[in-house]
Amino acid sequence: MTAPLAERLAGIMGCAVTRIAPLGGGCIADVRRAMMADGRDVVVKRGAGAESALAIEGRMLSYLAEHTALPVPTVHFAADDLLVMDYIPSGDPITPAAEADAAMHLAALHGIGNGTFGFSWPTVIGGLQQPNDPNPSWRDFFRDRRLLYMGRAAVDAGRLPAPTFRRLEKLCANLSRWIGDTSTPSLIHGDLWTGNILIRHDKLVGVVDPALYFADAEIELAFSTLFGTFGDSFFARYAELRPIAAGFFEERRDLYNLYPLLVHVRLFGGTYVNAVERTLNKFGF
């Protein structure tokens, strides 16, 4: 247990720290579990100042707590270099019953609307900035603020080849083939991979690491399949609550998953570039 961290936590929580132990998760910050003398457990994330965007992460969690019924940990402190929030006991597998429970929570979240796409302030995904300048057109927002923005960021970081970006630009110029302009803005979590889903006793007990904005909810559904987070049980229950339009699984799912793939290209490069190129091949670009 590092003395400076324990002292800082004691000041934040108003209670002495008895133990600090490593906790799995987090690609942009050191994550630990701290046991307090009064019996409370908290999660502590430490990052390298503003680059880690922990203050924005805490702000997003607080927004979800205030404006939605989605289960999220209570935030006790959020700054660029430190985030302290409640520890939520979890770790059970995502069973079919858990998928169905998660579907009810996500359908309710997606039922929260807004007059435009984007958000009232920039958010982050994996520590990367997400520009959220409002736009009444989902197709234009997805093109400019998601695909082209993250594609350029990946090129600038030396992770995405320029010829691949030019192919992406051609796809973006033809988005109207697959995406109409009648979408309704829905609040989305924005980063629904398995590590951000907390399950206990077949129930969704928490979600962490949000990447909030108002979007066509299909982009959230797509992301939930990219790394196998949810499957048939989730989609069967979700569709009972919010019908899924024809063509999602056949075409739009892969189109929307270009965005998280570009995020992973920007962060890690490597085989994710191949995944982007396979998607571009599928759509003829």
How does pLDDT run across 105-120, given as a tens digit for each residue? 999 999 999 889 999 9
If asked whether residues 110 and 32 sit together in one domain, one would say no
Would you call 191 a catalytic residue per the annotation?
A: yes
Which run of H or E residues covers position 204? strand 203-207
If asked whether residues 114 and 253 sit together in one domain, one would say yes
Per-residue pLDDT at 4:
87
pLDDT tens by residue, 231-255: 999 999 999 999 999 999 999 999 9
Task: Give me the domain span that covers residue 110.
Answer: 96-282
Per-residue pLDDT at 59:
97
Give the predicted TM-score (pTM) of the model.
0.95
Burial zone of 278 (CB within 10 Å; 0-12 exposed, 13-18 middle, 19+ buried): exposed
Instruction: Give the CATH number for residue 59.
Output: 3.30.200.20
* Boundary-marking domain end, from 22, 55, 86: 86
19 located within any domain: yes
Per-residue pLDDT at 23:
85
If asked whether residues 156 and 186 sit together in one domain, one would say yes
If asked whether residues 114 and 183 sit together in one domain, one would say yes
If asked whether residues 246 and 176 sit together in one domain, one would say yes
Ranges of residues in the chain whose predicted pLDDT is under 50: none
Number of domains in the chain: 2
If asked whether residues 113 and 217 sit together in one domain, one would say yes
Which residue of the set 41, 81, 133, 191 is catalytic? Answer: 191
* Boundary-marking domain end, from 31, 66, 86: 86
91 located within any domain: no
If asked whether residues 215 and 154 sit together in one domain, one would say yes
64 located within any domain: yes
* Boundary-marking domain end, from 34, 60, 86: 86
If asked whether residues 101 and 181 sit together in one domain, one would say yes
Instruction: Give the CATH number for residue 229.
Output: 3.90.1200.10
